[in-house]
Structures are given as C-alpha cells and as structure tokens.
C-alpha cells in the first residue's frame, strides 16, 4: 500500500472558546499536511478559568486554570494530545506529560482595542481617568507605571465577551488590552488600534505561541507532532519558560519578557514589577547558540534512553547543546533579577493580592 496507512481517529483536546477551537483546527490542518490520511476528532471541555468569571485570575490563585481539565483527559487517555496557548501553560507540567511541539509564533505583542468613541486615540492621548480593561497583572503594572493618567479595571471572559463589553453603548471602558495573536487568529486584526512594542510593554512568557501537550510515553503521538516544531520559537520559549520557572512566577505577580533570535544570538529581557508598577526590576541576557542548518539530522539516541526535557519541551529536531543553552540563558536572567531583590517584590505582590481577597 502506497503512502501512509490509515489508523484510528486521533482525539484532540481543546477548550470550548472560539479562539481555542480556531487554534486547535490550525494545528490539525498543519498535521494533515504532513499526515494526509490521519483522521482527527476534537474533544472540547470547559476549564476552571473558563467557568470562574467573577474573580480576577490572580485572586483565583491556581497555576493550571486553563489546563487542568484538559491534562486530566490526557492522563486518562480520553484524548491523545491537547492544544494550548503556551502562555496559559505552567512551566512545569504534570508527571508524564510533555510539550511535543511548539509551533511558529504569531505576533507576541500586546494590542490596544479602543472603543468607538476613542478610535482615533492612542493610550497616551486618552483623557485623564479613562478606563482601560485588562485581567493581567503584567499589563496593569506596566500601564500604571507608563500611563499614570489612565485608570485600570479588571475585565474577564473570552475575546468575544471582552469585545462585547467594550462595544456596549453603556461601557465604561475606553479601551481594552489583548494579545495581538488572538485577535489576528480570530480574523479581527482590523480591531487593533495600537500595537505596544516591547519598549512600551513586555509580553507574557510564551505569548503568541501554540504548544501541543502529549503523554511523554506516547511515542506514536510524539512522532506525529515532531514536524510541527519551529526551531526559533522553541528556543525562545524554552528560554522564557526557564526564566519564569526559576523565578517561580505565574499569574500571581507581574512578570514579563521579550526575546529574539538573530544570527544565532538569543537575547531575552525580563522584568518584575510591584502591583502598582512603581517598582521595576529588569535586565537582559544574551548567548550564542549552535544552530545546525536545515539538513541537520540529530544523532541517533539509544531507544531505551528517554531524552531530557527542557522546561517540559521535547525537541529532537534541535541539538541538546542549543536547548540547554536556551534554558541556561533564562536561568541566568532570572538569577540577575533575584540578585536585585525580584523575589521580594514578587512576594509583596502576592501578599497584596491575598490581602484584597
């Protein structure tokens, strides 16, 4: 029989939101281009983060708000792999789970969506006291520091819900801040009023990238996913995730990054803020990486020896030297911030959140 044999249907876990389904279908389409005879079925579910909408994310106080139910289905064998927005995925996965692929990154920056009343404005030109909606401590801290004339208020819900709240004729929001990647994937790029460059607002770890989680022991699925891995995105995200993991951060403190990979040099900038944005600790680290050409074939490994994970990432297409270098770079940056008392700033931020519950 020519080509690939037809096998059982592959079950793919996804959140129920429109954006999550678009992202999941994108991954499936990429897989079909490589494995045209494979069949896929999407299994949707709501996560705790989707259900609890009356509290800000930090006040809920859990790291796996948008992943726990999906990972449980994966662990129980109800799905074969799960598609995540990488920024929602904790830096340490449950035992036995791994990221089988990180796809090419969409725009990682933040985007401003203005209400119709202020469609010709930018954040800096908005009237004093204008209300900006965001559910992110990272965004609110940076806005408070850089745009003190604005008022920040929490806004929850999926993209559709937040845009509906903004567009309501009785809305108090002058603008909301969202990930540019989500708006672009939804086909709503025309709603973007302003893109915030990293100099204006660093972004979340992994923002704009899609991660595909699978069981570490499932060699069939791991082999299926491997062609989707993007080298540049993976190295940048390993470094970003290593930075956050070393700091011990998450949505419970304002932490952000930006990264780039140019001419084999990986650069990552990271920062930690107090909740009000007035305290800022930041630094940058750089490192040269060994990046083989497109014809590179990794050395064959002993079939009985499990390859090492790098911040839960499996990336056989990339040399272990490069992956380890990216991981060390993130650690190095975090240690620079720790020496500047970043952990104390983060601890105070968490305490303030708990005290306001």
Query: Tens digits of per-residue pLDDT, 50-91?
Result: 444 444 444 434 445 457 888 899 999 999 999 999 998 889
Q: How many residues does the chain have?
A: 357
CA gap 207, 244 in Å, rounded: 13
110-202 — its CATH code? 3.40.190.10
21 has pLDDT over 90: yes
Q: How confident is the model at residue 292 (pLDDT cuts 50, 70, 90)?
A: low
305: burial class by Cβ within 10 Å (0-12, 13-18, 19+)?
exposed
Domain boundary assignment for the chain: 10-107+205-354, 110-202
Asked, colleague to colleague, whether 10-107+205-354 and 110-202 share their fold, the answer is yes
Query: What percent of the chain is modeled with pLDDT above 90?
Result: 76
CA gap 22, 27 in Å, rounded: 9
Please state the rounded mean pLDDT for residues 212-223.
Answer: 96
User: Is 88 tagged catalytic?
Assistant: yes
Q: Is 267 within 8 Å of 259 (Cβ atoms)? A: yes
CA gap 273, 281 in Å, rounded: 6
State residue 3 phi and psi, 5-degree precision: 75, -160
Average pLDDT value for the chain: 89
**Beta bridge mates, 263:** none
Instruction: Give the alpha-carbon dihedral of 312, 217, 322, 336, to 10 degrees.
Output: 20
Please state the rounded mean pLDDT for residues 194-214.
Answer: 97
Per-residue pLDDT of 96-154, as tens digits, reads 999 999 999 999 999 999 999 999 999 999 999 999 999 899 999 999 999 999 999 99
Q: How confident is the model at residue 242 (pLDDT cuts 50, 70, 90)?
A: very high
- pTM here is 0.90
Active-site residue, from 88, 110, 218, 230? 88
Q: How confident is the model at residue 296 (pLDDT cuts 50, 70, 90)?
A: low
Per DSSP, the three-state class of 295 is coil
> Which residue is it, tokens 């909740």?
275
Pairing verdict, β 280-288 and 265-273? antiparallel
Q: How confident is the model at residue 49 (pLDDT cuts 50, 70, 90)?
A: very low
Q: How confident is the model at residue 273 (pLDDT cuts 50, 70, 90)?
A: very high
User: What's the pLDDT at 69?
Assistant: 86
Query: 233, 257, 259, 262: which is closest to 342 by C-alpha?
Result: 257
Q: Which residues contact 76 (CB under 8 A, 6 or more apart)?
A: none
State residue 84 phi and psi, 5-degree precision: -125, 150
Q: Which residues contact 62 (CB under 8 A, 6 or more apart)?
A: 48, 68
Query: 210, 212, 131, 214: which is closest to 176 by C-alpha?
Result: 131
Domain 10-107+205-354 has CATH 3.40.190.10: yes
Instruction: Give the alpha-carbon dihedral of 242, 317, 85, 63, to 10 degrees.
Output: -40
């Amino acid at each position: 029989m020519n080509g690939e044999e037809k096998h059982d249907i592959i079950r793919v876990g996804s959140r129920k939101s429109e954006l999550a389904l678009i992202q999941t279908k994108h991954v499936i389409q990429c897989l079909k281009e490589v494995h045209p005879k494979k069949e896929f079925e999407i299994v949707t579910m709501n996560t705790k983060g989707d259900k609890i909408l009356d509290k800000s994310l930090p006040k809920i106080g859990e790291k796996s708000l948008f992943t726990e139910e999906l990972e449980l289905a994966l662990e129980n064998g109800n799905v074969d792999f799960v598609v995540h927005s990488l920024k929602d995925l904790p830096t340490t996965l449950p035992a036995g789970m791994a990221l089988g692929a990180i796809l090419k990154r969409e725009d990682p920056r933040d985007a401003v969506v203005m209400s119709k009343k202020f469609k010709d404005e930018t954040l800096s030109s908005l009237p004093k006291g204008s209300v900006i909606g965001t559910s992110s401590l990272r965004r609110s801290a940076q806005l408070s520091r850089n745009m003190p004339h604005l008022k920040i208020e929490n806004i929850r819900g999926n993209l559709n819900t937040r845009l509906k709240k903004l567009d309501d004729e009785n809305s108090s929001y002058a603008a909301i801040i969202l990930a540019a990647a989500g708006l672009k994937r939804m086909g709503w790029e025309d709603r973007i009023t302003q893109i915030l460059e990293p100099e204006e607002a660093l972004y979340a770890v992994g923002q704009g990238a899609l991660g595909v989680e699978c069981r570490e022991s499932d060699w069939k699925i791991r082999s299926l996913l491997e062609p989707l891995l993007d080298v540049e995105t993976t190295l940048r995200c390993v470094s970003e995730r290593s930075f956050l993991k070393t700091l011990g951060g998450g949505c419970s403190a304002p932490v952000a990054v930006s990264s780039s990979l140019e001419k084999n040099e990986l650069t990552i900038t990271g920062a930690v803020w107090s909740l009000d944005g007035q305290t800022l600790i930041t630094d940058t680290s750089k490192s040269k990486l060994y990046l083989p050409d497109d014809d590179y074939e990794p050395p064959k490994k002993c079939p009985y020896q499990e390859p090492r994970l790098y911040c839960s990432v499996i990336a056989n297409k990339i040399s272990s030297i490069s992956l380890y270098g990216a991981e060390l770079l993130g650690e190095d940056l975090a240690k620079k911030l720790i020496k500047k008392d970043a952990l104390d700033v983060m601890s105070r931020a968490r305490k303030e959140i708990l005290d306001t519950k």
